[in-house]
Structure 1
């Protein structure tokens, strides 16, 4: 699910913001908002990305 929304383009990697947006959408769509929160806290908050 996540991989489908982040297609790999040689020489063009998705930004951390885009990766976070896809993770948040997938986990919340599946009903795992607590996992989305945990992933944000551990990986994306330290990068300075907002939860929303």
Structure 2
């Protein structure tokens, strides 16, 4: 399979607080494969939900 994936172009990643642990797993995977990434948050498990009306 011919891939056009460029390891030097960063992958954009982000999550809300519920996906934080999955995002951390993804970061570990990307780092192990030496794939650059840009993390757009969140940066903790603190709730980032919009308020209920």
With normalisation by structure 2, the TM-score equals 0.38
With normalisation by structure 1, the TM-score equals 0.38
Q: Which has the higher helix share?
A: 1
Structure having greater relative contact order (Cα 8 Å, sep ≥ 6): 2
Q: Which has the higher strand share?
A: 2
